[in-house]
Structures are given as structure tokens and as C-alpha cells.
């Protein structure tokens, strides 16, 4: 199976870049399934039905969220009727968070893909333990038996926590991918047990920015230590950043992982077909 995951979409530039590039990428790489982190898709903060539809129209099969899941209040009701939209799995049970944090998807070729979204705890608003939540989900849905592929989106601040999740899932997931920090890391690898991993997928954003947001506003905030203007996405051409993964049809484990970068300012990187 051929999978692609794309990092945090920052506002309209990120959505437009995916609309431009994703259809061609799906054809070129013969992708069976596409997952996108979309928690910043609506003007940099949260998601709406319209911005989600832009990404589904571009070719997304699943959208994951993160710490900005509910910045747009309509997401609280939209997620209940849209199974292709996932919030973090590890909300406390008593919070009664709407929607779902893991879901099984059927591909046009007859495969089944499980996507799990979790939120880290280091330097983040603390939810329940993401490791326990993922462990339970993986035990209930064994790779290569119940599913042809399993993707875990580890949305968190600390690189150490993302890497720990990769090793924790090694041999039980096809891909563990970090999101949230918006910068593509250079450590794409297949771990010893067969799980593809990259610490951060990067963002679909204008990189003449501070993590996709207007650099003037961001620099002023850091320099003055005052709140200043409301943050807005940088509006230049966006780079689409993500990873391509090919899995073993028998086991669901990864055969290879390669970065994807196309458009915008960053040096292009395209997997060989």
C-alpha cells in the first residue's frame, strides 16, 4: 500500500498549495490513502466545514487535528457528522469530547487503514496519557490482521516525546509521524521493527514566516514581549511538506519512507516512483 501524510496546513496558502499539488502527487505516487493534519487550516486556528471540504476536494481521505481542534466552534458539531475528521484520541473520558480519535477507512483498492490521532503532554495542555491510548487502540486492531496499514499522528511539542512514541509503536504501526512544530525534520527512517517514522512532517505553509505565521507580527511579539496584533498566516506561496510510505502487503509494515516537499521556498524533494 502507498500512503502519504502531510503536515499542518496553515490557512489559505496551505490549502491552496494542496489543491494545486496534491492531485498530481496522488497520480505520480499512485497513492492509496492520504492523511493531512488540518488543525490550522482555518486562518491558522482550527478548522471549519468549508476549509475541511477544500482539503477533501484536493484529495484528502482523512484529516487529523490537535491542540487547536476547537478554535472554531463549528468544529464541535461538524466533527460529529464527519468521520473523516479526527480529534486527539486521548481526551479524558469525562470530557465527553465530540467526535472520535481513531477510525477505520476503506480504500478504493479494497484495503483498510486505521488512523489514530493523539496529543502529547510535554509543554502542552495535558490530556490523558497518549501512550496508554495508542497501546489500547493498537491491541484492539492488530496490523496485518485487522488492518492493512496503521497511521499514528503524534501531535506534540517535544521531539523526544514524538521519538518515544515512534519506538513505542515500532512493529505495530505502519507510520508514526510527528506534527505541531511545523518544520520538516531530516530523520525519516524505518525503525528496526518496521515502523516508518519522522519526528515532524513539517507544514503546508509559506516558509517566509515564523512556523507559517506572519513574521513581522511574530518577531514583534518575541522582541517586545507584548501581545501586539493577532497572529495571521503568512500569505506567500506555500511549500507542501509530508512523507511518502510504502508498506508490505502481507504485514502492513513499512518498506520505505521518503520526504515530500513541493512548491514554495523549500528545496523540492520528491520520492522516486
Closest among 262, 240, 37 to 156, alpha carbons compared: 37
Would you state the cell numbers that stand for residue 240, as one nine-digit string?
A: 507542501
Would you state the cell numbers that stand for residue 132, as one nine-digit string?
A: 496508554
How far is Cα 43 from Cα 213, in angstroms, rounded to an integer?
Answer: 10
Q: Does residue 123 carry a catalytic annotation?
A: no
Structural contact between residues 119 and 156, judged by C-beta atoms closer than 8 angstroms:
yes
Structural contact between residues 85 and 66, judged by C-beta atoms closer than 8 angstroms:
no
Q: Which listed residue (68, 155, 180, 182) is catalytic?
A: 68
Q: Label the pairing between strands 254-262 and 189-190.
A: unpaired
CA distances from 123 to 117, 146, 147, 155, 176 (A): 18, 34, 33, 12, 20
Q: Label the pairing between strands 196-198 and 189-190.
A: antiparallel
Q: Which residue has the cell 514524538?
A: 162
Quickly list DSSP for 149-178: EEEEEEE-S-HHHHHHHHHHHTTT-SEEEE
Active-site amino acid positions: 68
Amino acid at each position: 500500500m502507498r500512503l502519504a501524510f502531510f503536515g499542518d496546513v496553515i490557512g489559505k496558502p496551505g490549502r491552496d498549495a494542496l489543491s494545486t499539488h496534491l492531485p498530481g502527487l496522488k497520480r505520480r505516487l499512485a497513492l492509496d490513502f492520504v492523511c493531512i493534519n488540518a488543525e490550522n487550516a482555518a486562518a491558522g486556528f482550527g478548522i471549519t466545514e468549508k476549509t475541511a471540504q477544500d482539503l477533501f476536494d484536493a484529495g484528502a481521505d482523512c484529516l487529523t487535528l490537535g491542540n487547536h481542534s476547537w478554535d472554531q466552534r463549528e468544529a464541535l458539531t461538524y466533527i460529529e457528522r464527519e468521520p473523516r475528521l479526527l480529534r486527539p484520541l486521548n481526551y479524558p473520558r469525562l470530557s465527553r469530547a465530540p467526535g472520535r480519535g481513531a477510525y477505520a477507512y476503506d480504500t478504493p483498492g479494497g484495503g483498510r487503514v486505521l488512523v489514530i490521532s493523539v496529543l502529547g503532554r510535554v509543554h502542552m495542555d495535558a490530556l490523558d496519557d497518549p501512550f496508554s491510548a495508542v497501546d489500547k487502540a493498537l491491541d484492539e486492531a492488530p496490523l496485518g490482521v485487522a488492518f492493512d496499514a496503521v497511521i499514528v499522528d503524534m501531535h506534540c511539542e517535544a521531539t523526544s516525546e514524538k521519538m518515544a512514541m515512534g519506538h513505542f509503536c515500532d512493529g505495530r504501526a505502519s507510520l508514526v509521524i510527528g506534527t505541531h512544530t511545523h518544520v520538516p525534520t531530516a530523520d525519516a527512517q524505518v525503525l528496526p521493527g518496521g515502523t516508518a517514522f519522522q519526528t515532524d512532517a513539517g507544514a503546508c505553509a509559506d516558509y517566509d514566516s515564523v512556523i507559517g505565521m506572519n513574521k513581522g507580527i511574530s518577531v514583534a511579539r518575541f522582541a517586545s514581549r507584548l501581545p501586539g496584533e493577532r497572529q495571521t498566516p503568512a500569505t506567500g506561496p506555500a511549500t507542501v511538506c509530508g512523507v511518502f510510505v510504502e508498506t508490505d502487503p502481507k504485514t502492513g509494515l513499512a518498506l520505505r519512507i521518503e520526504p515530500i516537499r513541493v512548491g514554495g521556498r523549500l528545496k523540492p524533494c520528491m520520492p522516486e516512483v
